Amino acid sequence: MAEHNASLKRQERESTDAEPSPKRSRPNESNTAGQEKPRHPTLWFDDGGIVLSAEHTLFRVHRSFLSLNSPIFRDLFSIPPRESASEDPEETWEGLPLIRMHDDDEDIVNLLTALYDRTYSLASQPIDVVAGLLRMSTKYEIGYLRNQAIKYLTPIYDLPNRNIVERYTATTRGVQFAPLIINTARETKTDFLIPGAFFFLAIQDINHIFERITKEERPRYRISMDDLQTCITGREALIKCNRETIYSFGSKKCGENTRCNSRMNTFVQSEVWKEHVADPNTTAVLDSAFWNDITVCGMCVETHRMSSRMGVRKVIDQVPGYFKFSDWDTLRKSTKGQPSQIK
Ligand SMILES: [Zn+2]
């Protein structure tokens, strides 16, 4: 009976025309012939000569256009079909060659949109979309798109490049997708993005860091146990370096005013100071509110502020070392397609 029903359903499917119905997009029905998947609503060009079959969706595109943009597509399309291919529903779609893609639907949609839409602006996309485009443009060897993605991500994760001293409040932008960037950078040989992503992860609350392993289900957004270890070790090193470099002014004496010295002594005993010194976020000292808590003379405040700002730069310069990397310059040079120097 079940078999009879299945055969009826198959007939029903075959008898309807090519118009897709939403129920066909169910994942458990998707691993069979291309005809069972819905067409993408916009990335389906009637004059396209080839059909790409992603996990749940079909895309009808132009062979020559994609070949022009990507040598990988060109090679993929130049493989001659098997003799029996025209009868095999796995390899054709209504007579057109059907190419099975091993990418997520979302990745294909983003890539094709970036290629086809001339008004498409990478700059207005969220970080996860750009990370996906970096991965796809690397895989399909689309140089200009890869360079655009690198240019977008550079001022966020190449910490000395983003001028963090002036723009430290923007860190939240880099935090959310830090694990995704670590994984994507490894996959795309853009290692210079990794220390910055580790930094953003490491300055988080420790529970938040652990949640990136235990609560995240999407593999690309999760960090490995090795990376967790690197992150925690780097976090410890960061706190130590912050203490020695940025907060070293706590032990400095005022040459003008002896009251400053006793006030500073009291301040470095306070809970506020202890909390700051234990904070891995290197840039926290740049918050002007921090300085309101110290009641030393104006000249002391200015001197300490200046020295701590220089300390922040020093710590940022050393960030790769905390996370098992060499220096920033070596990392940048190892990237194919130089990261742009945005100041
Ligand atoms: Zn003073």
Query: pLDDT tens-digit profile of 127-157?
Result: 999 999 999 999 999 999 999 999 999 988 8
Q: How far is the CA of 335 from the centre of ligand 1 (A)?
A: 47
Q: How far is the CA of 299 from the centre of ligand 1 (A)?
A: 6
- Report if residue 339 sits inside a domain: no
Q: How far is the CA of 258 from the centre of ligand 1 (A)?
A: 7
Domain of 260, in residue numbers: 242-319
- Report if residue 334 sits inside a domain: no
Q: How far is the CA of 257 from the centre of ligand 1 (A)?
A: 5
Average pLDDT in the chain = 83
pLDDT of residue 79: 80
Q: pLDDT (tens digit, 9 = 90+) per residue, 214-252?
A: 788 888 999 899 999 999 999 999 999 999 999 988 888
Q: pLDDT (tens digit, 9 = 90+) per residue, 6-55?
A: 443 433 333 333 333 333 333 333 444 555 789 999 999 999 999 999 99
Contacts of 253 (CB under 8 A, 6+ apart): 260, 261
Beta-strand pair 50-53/92-93: unpaired
What are the CB-based long-range contacts (under 8 Å, 24+) for 227-235? Answer: 227/179, 227/182, 227/198, 230/198, 230/323, 230/324, 231/198, 231/201, 231/202, 231/323, 232/202, 232/206, 233/322, 234/198, 234/199, 234/202, 234/322, 234/323, 234/324, 235/202, 235/203, 235/206, 235/209, 235/280
- Report if residue 131 sits inside a domain: no
Check whether 159 has a pLDDT greater than 90. Answer: no
Number of structural domains the chain divides into: 2
Confidence of residue 190 (pLDDT cuts 50, 70, 90): very high
Q: How far is the CA of 297 from the centre of ligand 1 (A)?
A: 4
pTM (predicted TM-score): 0.82
Q: How far is the CA of 268 from the centre of ligand 1 (A)?
A: 15
- Report if residue 119 sits inside a domain: no
299, 285 contact by CB (below 8 A): no
Q: How far is the CA of 284 from the centre of ligand 1 (A)?
A: 22
- Report if residue 225 sits inside a domain: no
- Report if residue 233 sits inside a domain: no
- Report if residue 252 sits inside a domain: yes
**Among 42, 76, 106, residue at a domain's last position:** 106
Contacts of 10 (CB under 8 A, 6+ apart): none
- Report if residue 26 sits inside a domain: no
Q: Which of 110, 100, 105, 114 is nearest to 50 (CA)?
A: 100
Q: How far is the CA of 106 from the centre of ligand 1 (A)?
A: 59
Q: How far is the CA of 310 from the centre of ligand 1 (A)?
A: 19
